[in-house]
Structure 1
């Protein structure tokens, strides 16, 4: 959205340009700051100033407002871009929305997915020195609105790009449900010949503390400069701008609401770290690139539920979910426990044909249903131990497995088999 005619004329009279310092007075309040670009999401009567503390503020301008030019910004010498040294490899960027592709509405303070994949890449010119980029938008939504159909679209489009010759795919994605999407892609895409790297940001792209830039550049470097080929999540390794951590897509969880290093690998070391200066260090085994094709298996059984057990959980309240779902993943206490009355209801559901998988809400460690009576009763009832899978990974995996087979023994076998790195062979002593 462009400026209103009134503001456009005002800025023209002031001969104000982006980068100039303005004073804006509305009544008794005065704001002094650097004039920032007016992006397409800004309302027509709002101008954006960057204050001396580094933060941006949106100010409504009316005919009663007083706007003064304080100083002109330093003239920037236009230097020709240095000769690019791209690897010549093509990386596909498939935009899905989220904070990484967002702007702030400075009228309300709300964040909206408004930046296209092309604009996002254009804001990171260094990425073109690393690879040739083909960017497009699949959809522009926040990750809480992601669903199975979105996962299937991402998987199919990523497979098409890789089979067409892309060295890998970067998926800009909202952070809140990134772990679900990365797990879904890991199972759908199988033995990938080229990597798929999901990246996000905890700060929107127009904020001074945004982590979008470094995460995107690091993902491009990782795809082009390594032989790793799985579904990964790449996010800041610490709160500072020093390095990014590369997590296996089935072992990663968002562990903080807002920190830039919110993502952690659970029951597994990070696969690699990417120094923001360009260095890459590996810390775990990984699948290597190949010249084969990828065949996306995107079928998913959507009639699956994820329940967290809590003290006093009423069997009658959850009976319908347990009996009418094709599959249920339960996040139990400790080694994988529920109360004895819930155990009886679960037993009845399993006998009725519902596949039930037990994980632990402790997250770290492995379920073990052999230690206590409740666990042994659940094993006798046919409950499938979730090993050390994250509850959300087990949930996505069960959806995928139930779409591949209806045989109870095969379902149990597949759920207990490490297919995409979701189950650790041994406990990580660093936990």
Structure 2
């Protein structure tokens, strides 16, 4: 039987037992020096001290309160029980948003024996632990798989796309996908291409810190994603994460124009060469568009094209790189090579011969930039013009990761070398911006 006061020992456990409270209850801690602290009673680590009580405040932060400061403990509400089969059936019938779990920090919790973060949070747990989430929309949850985002593959992208397609045919008004942040922008790009004629919002959401951690962003990000999926008057694939370090606004980024630009900040994701699509204000619960977005449409317009071909490679150029790297990729059977060149789209002369050989063998070679902002412009210098004469195709301001995913998707649809040369630089899902817009967009 699970310990209802997990991790508590000594004076802290005695205090909570006398009050008859359990982990997960809403409690009020009356303080001996006046005032009170209210929140959800959290478990503690197995080896934590026995003189503090931990509660999660309504703003998402955790607070530890010394037992010596607490005069009494009052129960404000009991932990929400697991939904019954009947309740789940009602949600299944009435649900207008489905949360599809794929893993990541937002779907993780702390192992209170070891203190490690483990990816074992089910979507149902998220539903029950986020206060007010059920008031935003009728929700259904489903665990598709539970993996760390570095283990995502094109086959996982295909499975997610197929499940989203079924969800839309089942009548859901919006789809939320919980995902690890490290490769979430790859999956967002993959779904953007695989879901053609998408009639509803599909919102990927992650967290930089699990919901058990102090200053977690999991709860607020998930709320913002559900608000966007249920109330946003637009369609398409988006990523929902903190807009800044406060808990008030959640940024809604286009799935083909977003990138993770920080390892740990809650506002790690930024729209690149594009304005934010929308902002969710968690105070007013409003979804505000910041630019023109495609409207919601007829579910019958959706075409799911989930095939991806792994024979595309993203190669970052560095000074002194040997052309043998490119030769090896060509000889290994790769059909598309996305170069991350320097500046406006350059690579050293020592690899030009290998690039020409790749093109002659029918390999598509596209150029992106290692710079975060701006666009490839290969006509400015002789190097760029030489590469274009060799058959390299400039890809504008397309993010390298998006270009890789697009190449995999086009190959998966059976595109040959000439089709790749035509379709890769074309703007299919908003992945390429007009140059005048690029130069004006960065705040």
Q: Report Cα offsets for 1:55-97 as digits up to 9, x if no partner.
A: 689xxxxxxxxxx998575213349x9xxxx9x7610100011
| Whole-angstrom CA distance in 1 between matches of 2:267 and 2:322 | 37
Preserved contact between residue 2 and residue 44 of structure 1 (Cα < 8 Å): no
Q: Report Cα offsets for 1:235-282 as digits up to 9, x if no partner.
A: 110011120111000000001111111110001111111111113322
Name the counterpart of 1:285.
292
- Structure 2 CA distance for partners of 1:228 and 1:4, relative to 1, 3 Å: closer
Name the counterpart of 2:322.
314
Counting matched residue pairs gives 402
Secondary structure in structure 2 of the residue aligned to 1:208: coil
Gaps of 5+ in 1: 22-33, 58-67
Name the counterpart of 2:83.
none
User: Shift in Å at residue 393 of structure 1?
Assistant: 0.3
Normalization by structure 2: what TM-score? Answer: 0.82
- Which of 142, 145, 158 is matched with 2:148 structurally? 142
- Which of 417, 428, 442 is matched with 1:419 structurally? 428
- Which of 196, 203, 226 is matched with 1:220 structurally? 226
User: Shift in Å at residue 106 of structure 1?
Assistant: 4.4
Name the counterpart of 1:248.
254
Preserved contact between residue 43 and residue 112 of structure 2 (Cα < 8 Å): no
- More deviation, 174-183/207-216: 207-216
- Structure 2 CA distance for partners of 1:345 and 1:204, relative to 1, 3 Å: same
Name the counterpart of 2:368.
359
Q: Report Cα offsets for 1:127-175 as digits up to 9, x if no partner.
A: 2212110101011111111111111111110110011100010001111
Secondary structure in structure 1 of the residue aligned to 2:133: helix
- Which of 204, 208, 228 is matched with 1:198 structurally? 204
Confirm or deny that 1:164 pairs with 2:170: yes
- Structure 2 CA distance for partners of 1:320 and 1:52, relative to 1, 3 Å: closer
Confirm or deny that 1:430 pairs with 2:422: no
Name the counterpart of 1:2.
2
- Structure 2 CA distance for partners of 1:9 and 1:425, relative to 1, 3 Å: closer
Name the counterpart of 1:65.
none
- Which of 227, 230, 235 is matched with 1:229 structurally? 235
Q: Report Cα offsets for 1:306-325 as digits up to 9, x if no partner.
A: 11001111112442014431
User: Shift in Å at residue 109 of structure 1?
Assistant: 3.9
Q: Report Cα offsets for 1:359-396 as digits up to 9, x if no partner.
A: 00012111122222221222122212111100000000
| Whole-angstrom CA distance in 2 between matches of 1:257 and 1:7 | 30
- Structure 2 CA distance for partners of 1:6 and 1:259, relative to 1, 3 Å: closer
| Whole-angstrom CA distance in 2 between matches of 1:369 and 1:354 | 19
Preserved contact between residue 46 and residue 114 of structure 2 (Cα < 8 Å): no
- Structure 2 CA distance for partners of 1:372 and 1:90, relative to 1, 3 Å: same
Secondary structure in structure 2 of the residue aligned to 1:161: helix
User: Shift in Å at residue 126 of structure 1?
Assistant: 1.4
- Which of 250, 257, 264 is matched with 2:263 structurally? 257
| Whole-angstrom CA distance in 1 between matches of 2:41 and 2:246 | 25
| Whole-angstrom CA distance in 2 between matches of 1:46 and 1:36 | 16
Preserved contact between residue 175 and residue 201 of structure 1 (Cα < 8 Å): yes
Secondary structure in structure 2 of the residue aligned to 1:74: strand
Preserved contact between residue 273 and residue 373 of structure 2 (Cα < 8 Å): yes
Confirm or deny that 1:50 pairs with 2:54: yes
Name the counterpart of 1:338.
347
Name the counterpart of 1:301.
309
Preserved contact between residue 176 and residue 254 of structure 1 (Cα < 8 Å): yes
| Whole-angstrom CA distance in 2 between matches of 1:52 and 1:231 | 32
| Whole-angstrom CA distance in 2 between matches of 1:164 and 1:52 | 36
Name the counterpart of 2:32.
none
- Structure 2 CA distance for partners of 1:92 and 1:340, relative to 1, 3 Å: same
Gaps of 5+ in 2: 30-38, 81-90
- Which of 183, 190, 193 is matched with 1:184 structurally? 190
Name the counterpart of 1:75.
74
| Whole-angstrom CA distance in 2 between matches of 1:321 and 1:417 | 25
